[in-house]
Amino acid sequence: MRHLLHRREWLARAAALAAAPFAFSTWAAEANQGWRRNELEVLRAFPKGWLEALCANDMPDAQGLTGTNRAVGRWLEAGPQRGCCRGVIAAVVAGDLARADQAWKGINLAFSRQREDGGFEAGVRPNGSSAQSGAAAVETAYFFLQEVGRMLLVVRRSSHAAHFEARIEAMLPRLRRACAFIAAGEAGIIEKSSKAVNRIIIAAKAFGTCGRVLRDEALVEVARRLARHALTLRDADGVFIEHGGRDSSYNVVSIYFGQVLALHVDLPEFEAALRKATAWQLGRIRPDGDVDVTGNTRTGVGKEPGYDGKPKGVNYNEAIFALAYAGIVHDDDRCMDAARRVFNRTHPGR
């Protein structure tokens, strides 16, 4: 494809950017201009206690492991480390820098596992597969980077940006190499993940947020291309298609990650599509806050196992985030009411 840069060109671009001066004061100043919206303020608008509850499981263990890595007690791959980024975000919003520093250990661990080519080391998953090479290696990298980029954008917007200055500056060359690695695999992302459009949107979020952090418009343009491709993967009612049909869990994942991307990259057509997908999603939220899984193609009906071999369930936290973001950003009481019902069901007593 002519629009794709060759891997060497991406690596050369990354090397040039790494050598360029990048004053933190300039970076901090840029954080206060040219943004469509402020995600930090969206997060601060969450009802009291929600963010803490939703991110309670995202802190790394003593080894620095999060997610599936923490669950199995060893390093599997980079993707599961994205949870520690959410942990940093929640702590920064709360003004708890000690907790943010604790969560950051998981980020340090991930980048300590970075390979020379910009990708990340990977072991064998419980189901026998691995993200050691090919499209799987690109996928686990962008699953991690999509939260790294978002985290850095939220941190730089906060009043605590200076607290993280030195470690962010040290991270940037590694981040550039990782972005060059996934950019070289753009065609593979489309080929591998078009049947699961949420991954296309997650990849777009990685390119868009990291591109904003690195001030690299080529990366942001990849995000735009992927978002445009995602628009072609919907049905007549605007629902994002997963494995040939509708899925009330993965549709909400697409909505949530797409909304975050749209906060940082101007994508009006894509954002309008998210609103349409949200309208369908609202009809899948029951009065008691349960998510209706009737007819789902992937989750909640025992059709698809996860890495641990267990059937995939509903992503309830993502449902809450998606609906709350829609409610806050668009001042939509229906979305906030639905988010509240799901939160009350899944976090009773909070």
The type of residue at 178 is A
**DSSP code per residue over 190-218:** HHHHTTBHHHHHHHHHHHHHHHHHHT-HH
* Per-residue model confidence as pLDDT tens for the chain (350 residues): 334 444 455 455 555 544 444 444 444 434 443 435 589 999 999 999 999 999 999 999 999 999 999 999 999 999 999 999 999 999 999 999 999 999 999 999 999 999 999 999 999 999 899 999 999 999 999 999 999 999 999 999 999 999 999 999 999 999 999 999 999 999 999 998 999 999 999 999 999 999 999 999 999 999 999 999 999 999 999 999 999 999 999 999 999 999 999 999 999 999 999 999 999 999 999 999 999 999 999 999 888 887 777 889 999 999 999 999 999 999 999 999 999 999 999 999 87
pLDDT for 310: 81
Q: How many helices (H) and strands (E) does the chain have?
A: 16, 0
pLDDT for 12: 55
pLDDT for 25: 41
Query: CA 156, 158, 159: angle at the middle one, nearest 5?
Result: 115
270 neighbors 258 (Cβ within 8 angstroms)? yes
pLDDT for 30: 43
The domain segmentation of the chain, as residue ranges, is: 1-233, 237-350
pLDDT for 263: 97
* DSSP label at residue 76: -
Distance of alpha carbon 296 from alpha carbon 232, whole angstroms = 20
pTM of the model: 0.89
Q: Which two tokens stand for residue 32?
A: 């206060």
pLDDT for 332: 97
Give the 3-state secondary structure of residue 219. helix
pLDDT for 307: 74
For 219-241, b where at least 16 C-beta lie within 10 A, e where not — what string? bbebbbbbbebbbebbeeebbbb
Distance of alpha carbon 113 from alpha carbon 77, whole angstroms = 9
